[in-house]
Chains A and B, each alone.
Chain A
Amino acid sequence: MPPREGTYGMLAEFDNPSDLVRAARQARQDGWRRMECYTPYPVEEAAEAIGFHRNEVPLVTLIGGLMGCAAMFSLETWISVLAYPLNIAGRPTYSWPAFMVPAYEWTILWAGLSACFGMLALNGLPALYHPLFNAPNFRDGATTDKFFLCLEALDPKFDLIEAKAYLESFQPASVVEVEY
């Protein structure tokens, strides 16, 4: 990532989720694209308002699960048929029904790990630094009881004075500029 300086965006603080959702919806209608809501708990309406409908976590999970299943089943088959064939009560060396149980467990194991780590990777976490934490009111509210809308400077419509005035038209509790 190239080193950045200057303004990250303009951050409006709301006291309740309804105001945030209304503001976000309006901003999207008015053509804003680079924006993000910050809430202390998941607010689905906010995601819809900023036009975020689908994510790739299910796909990552599916791929992980299939890989786990294939990995364990082939390992079992290789061990029981080729590497170390044992005669257990006269059963065939390739006794696939018995192999299904560990393969099933590994499907779940890999799918679960993919879901968690895939989610973190897609979110860009862990992140040691983020400019939003420079905003004076962000840390007290964003993880407790305040709802934020951030218009990012990367949006072509962004202009320091206009963005501030635009956000203030929603009557938020405050509007602050966030710096890198």
Chain B
Amino acid sequence: MATSEGKTTDPGIDPETGEYRVIGQGQTFRSVTEKISRIVLTPHTPLGWFAFFGVAGAGATMLLVAVTWLFLKGVGIWAITQPVAWGFAIINFVWWIGIGHAGTLISAILLLFKQGWRNSINRFAEAMTIFAVICAGMFPLIHVGRPWVSYWMLPLPFTMNVWPQFRSPLLWDVFAVSTYATISVVFWYMGMIPDFGTLRDRSESRIAQYFYGMLSMGWRGSTRHWMRYETASLLLAGLATPLVLSVHTVISFDFAVAVLPGWHTTIFPPYFVAGAIYSGFAMVLTLAIPLRKFYHLEALVTERHIDNMGKVMLATGFIVAYGYGMEVFMAWYSASHWEAFMMWNRMFGPMGWAYWVLVTCNLAIPLTTLWSRRLRTNITFMFLLSIVVNTGMWFERFVIIVTSLYRDFLPSAWGTYRATKWDYMTYVGTLGLFTALFVLFVRFLPMIPMNEIRMMLPGAKITPKATAKAGD
């Protein structure tokens, strides 16, 4: 318990343990609890919150309009036709699901690797997952044309005696995505139970006590409960890790199983998963940076978090780069005329611009700048970069889907693709829905897991025989 041995003066390093501090200095159990629970329990909603919610809600309303019109008129209002039968709907589906994956990665994989720094960001990353999966799951459902019979995809005993065909990756998708949504919700909710207990005990209004009391299920922090809870969390993390890898793998099978140049490739599963994590981390940054500023959470979501996320993006970005490289290489190495033409057309055809947008946004800008620690800890830069990467990843899916389809084997069947205003409205609408749900989440649910933050504070260290009170 030496107070100062003069070993280090770096404020980022804990002098007692010599480890990197993830949480800002001088926080106690009570101060972090206060800080996080006040955001939820305060009766005063900041004006900025209403502004955000208003804009996002307008977007969600636009989605409602677009989808209503779609249900009335059919998918013909979108630009999809032959040869590009999979347009924005599938692009957005893959993009949203990919964004969701970073949340699971942060909450599950980094938990298994004992990466304590994830504790500050895992809750809202999980929330992001769930809202992204809601947006993603909607697209295949509305894309089927007759969404009111979407339940035909499920193995249910109908009077017509028709059953699903289990050899199709599209059906595997139904199970992968529904399992993913369910497990994400369960993991998210379970993680919040102890925090609901805290909110129940700290709230002053009767309604809030009742509301959080019900949600907390009577949690009282018993050690036996905690141990079972910790086991269940670890098991769920262990289950969610193979799940998240399988979900995007199955999605990539939707493409890879088809005999179409540009889709028919074995690199797709790992390349899709890496791309998902890449874009997901970008989305976590897009959300975390304004949030920590708006709610003054700089001590809990520190520069070190931003820095670490930058590193993960750098690593996954290179896997994605390898994927792009391998696609080009295989186009040449396969010696297939169709493969080579597809790649040439993808780069230099009428829609070649999209490919170069993707290369610029996903490779050229991030993979050169993320090496620098100075830039990784520059908050404004990272925010802008996260938007660049999200754009790039959207274009990646655009390129994969549209430029593989619009000029296939027979030149007489070539076509083009130009999204209609309904396509754009639906896409922007899901952005609105996502933001609206997220804004509601930060107002009513604890966005940072208080119990996990407490574990990381210096006061949580068990000292064998402390007669004097510890300084923290």
Report A's interface with B, CB cutoff 8 A.
16-18, 21-22, 36-47, 50, 52, 55, 57-58, 61, 65, 72, 75-76, 79-80, 83-84, 86, 88, 91, 95, 98-99, 101-102, 104-106, 108-109, 111-113, 115-116, 118-120, 122-123, 125-130, 132-133, 138-140, 142-145
Contacts and interface: CB of A to CB of B under 8 A. Distances in A.
9 contacts: A39-B221, A39-B223, A40-B29, A106-B179, A108-B240, A120-B217, A125-B217, A143-B198, A144-B29
Interface string B182-199: 110011011000100110
B226 interface: yes
Interface stretch (B86-94, B124-132, B452-460): B452-460
Contact of B451 (A41, A58, A105, A129): A41
A142 B224 contact: no
Interface in B214-263: 217-232, 235-236, 239-240, 242-243, 246, 250
A57 B223 contact: no
B163 A113 contact: no
Interface stretch (B135-143, B166-174, B411-419): B166-174
Given A36-B224, A109-B178, 4 more contacts: A39-B226, A57-B235, A84-B163, A101-B246
B290 interface: no
B228 A144 contact: no
Contacts of B334: none
B155 interface: yes
A101 B451 CA distance: 36
Q: Which of B197, B222, B250, B451 has the most CB of A within 10 A?
A: B222
A172 B224 CA distance: 21
B235 A58 contact: yes
Contacts of B232: 57, 61, 115-116, 118-119
B164 A112 contact: no
B162 A84 contact: yes
A17 B463 CA distance: 9
Contacts of B189: 116
A173 to B, nearest CB: 12
A40 to B, nearest CB: 6
Contacts of A39: 221, 223, 226
Contacts of B175: 72, 101-102, 105-106
B4 to A, nearest CB: 22
A123 B228 contact: yes
B249 to A, nearest CB: 9
B462 interface: yes
Interface of chain B, main secondary structure: helix
A112 B236 contact: yes
Contacts of B201: 139-140, 142-144
Given A21-B462, A109-B179, A142-B201, A101 B30 contact: no
B228 to A, nearest CB: 5
A47 B227 contact: yes
B462 A17 contact: yes
Nearest to A52: B224
A88 B165 contact: yes
Contact of B223 (A36, A65, A91): A36
Q: Which of A57, A101, A104 has the most CB of B within 10 A?
A: A101
Q: Which of B164, B223, B235 has the most CB of A within 10 A?
A: B223
Contacts of B218: 125-130
